[in-house]
Amino acid sequence: MTTTRVAILGASGYTGAELVRLLSRHPNMEIAALTADRKAGQSMADVFPHLAILDLPPLTAIDEVDWNGVDAVFCALPHATTQKVIAGLPKRLKIVDLSADFRLEDPAAYEKWYGHAHAERELQKEVVYGLPEFYREKVKSARIVANTGCYVAAAIIPLIPVLEAGLADPDWIIIDAKSGVSGAGRAAKEANLFTEVSEGFHAYSVAGHRHMGEIDQELSKAAGRPVTASFTPHLLPQNRGILATTYLKGEAQAIHARLAERFAGEPFVHVLPFGRTPATRHVRGSNHCLIGVVADRQPGRTILISVLDNLVKGASGQAIQNMNLMLGLPETAGLEQLALFP
């Protein structure tokens, strides 16, 4: 089997570092180029000392990349700047985009949630929304895949099969989500200082978080009609992990049976025995998503709890899973790493 030479654009952020961590042990890919805008010229060891033992290409500016030596691209650039960059890449490259730039299929929705018109509406039409568990076949033949957002993946993986089967009221979906701090990236912001985050907890972007557009899009497809879920994100004093507690009007046993059947063959999605619930620490550093289903004491209501690592199944691991599909590789290649606990 030949080795695919990959470039990581935006390697100086946490999702970039996570791609390096996973790809450096991938049996069929090798890292051919690493880019970082402001940190071009530095080595990855300077920027991420935990990766210093690897032999890696230097960080460069994007326009310094020799595309002849690259077969595929992971794009881990900030939202909004990504559109132009991807539009400018050679057309023969396979691309997984970890930003939000191509996730919303409707340009009007993009404009609503991001506050400006989409700059590459033609390119958008070509992009496949890339959650492997639901879009596997489309991903296999895609040239560009938009990787699902971290909160969105945690929320919709258990919800899509429930709504598709009509097992819950689409007008009665409340998603209370909690994320570790790494989801906010590595930018130096006062709000993300250790002193501002540790020993405390708060909600943010209440009723206004941008991931809602993406949740709406996918839940509406699943329900076959417009869905507007309530969604509240909170910031946990921990590095990694998202846990979504979702409240539904629907029968818990039926929901559990449906999810257990739907995900029985999935390598990375696991439904716990009825009544058991997962913790974020069970997936720290792994590409797994765990789902628990509990009957609420209110008859006819169900509580779903889903967890994943926002940097892995919620970003870089999922991206590699998508790329594996695009390249015809085993879907789990390079993603066998187990959770690190404690």
- Determine the Cα–Cα distance for residues 60 and 52; give it in Å rounded to an integer: 17
Q: Give the H/E segment covering residue 107.
A: helix 107-114
The residue assigned the tokens 């970039």 is 16
Residue 143 binds to a copy of itself (criterion: CB under 8 A): no
For the CA atoms of 162, 165, 169, 173, the dihedral, rounded to the nearest 10 degrees, stands at 20
Q: Minimum distance between the CB of residue 303 and a copy of itself, rounded to whole angstroms?
A: 6
Residue 52 binds to a copy of itself (criterion: CB under 8 A): yes
Q: Minimum distance between the CB of residue 84 and a copy of itself, rounded to whole angstroms?
A: 26
Options 63-71, 128-136, 154-162, 281-289: segment touching a copy of itself (CB under 8 A): 281-289
Q: Minimum distance between the CB of residue 174 and a copy of itself, rounded to whole angstroms?
A: 5
Q: Minimum distance between the CB of residue 113 and a copy of itself, rounded to whole angstroms?
A: 11
Return the number of the residue (42 or 230) whose C-beta is nearest a copy of itself. 230
289 labelled catalytic: no
Residues 6+ apart with CB under 8 A from 75: 9, 10, 82, 85, 86, 95, 96, 97, 98, 99
Residue 297 binds to a copy of itself (criterion: CB under 8 A): yes
Return the number of the residue (143 or 276) whose C-beta is nearest a copy of itself. 276
Footprint (CB under 8 A) of a copy of itself, residues 260-279: 270, 277-279
Q: Which of 122, 199, 265, 328 binds a copy of itself (CB under 8 A)?
A: 199
Return the number of the residue (102 or 231) whose C-beta is nearest a copy of itself. 231
Options 72-80, 133-141, 184-192, 257-265: segment touching a copy of itself (CB under 8 A): 184-192
Return the number of the residue (132 or 292) whose C-beta is nearest a copy of itself. 292
What's CA 280's distance to the chain center, in Å? 15
**Nearest Cα to Cα of residue 66 among 87, 94, 35, 21:** 35
Residue among 32, 72, 144, 150 flagged as catalytic: 150
> Three-state DSSP class for 82?
helix
Contacts from 79-86 at CB under 8 Å and sequence distance 24+?
79/114, 80/114, 80/116, 83/118, 83/119, 83/120, 83/123, 84/119, 84/120, 85/9, 86/120, 86/123, 86/144
Residue 317 binds to a copy of itself (criterion: CB under 8 A): no
Footprint (CB under 8 A) of a copy of itself, residues 73-112: none
For every residue of 109-134, DSSP letters joined together read HHHHHHSS--S-HHHHHHPEEE-HHH
> Three-state DSSP class for 201?
coil
Q: Which of 50, 112, 125, 143 binds a copy of itself (CB under 8 A)?
A: 50
Footprint (CB under 8 A) of a copy of itself, residues 200-239: 200-204, 206-208, 212, 228, 230, 232, 234, 236-239
- Determine the Cα–Cα distance for residues 287 and 313; give it in Å rounded to an integer: 5
Residue 197 binds to a copy of itself (criterion: CB under 8 A): yes
Options 1-9, 27-35, 303-311, 325-333: segment touching a copy of itself (CB under 8 A): 303-311
Residue 313 binds to a copy of itself (criterion: CB under 8 A): no
- Determine the Cα–Cα distance for residues 10 and 74; give it in Å rounded to an integer: 9
49 exposure class (CB count in 10 Å sphere: 0-12, 13-18, 19+): exposed
The residue assigned the tokens 């960080």 is 59
Residue 296 binds to a copy of itself (criterion: CB under 8 A): yes
Q: Minimum distance between the CB of residue 168 and a copy of itself, rounded to whole angstroms?
A: 14
What is the contact mask toward a copy of itself in residues 164 to 183, using x (rule: CB under 8 A)? ----------x-x-x--xx-
- As annotated, the active-site residues are 150
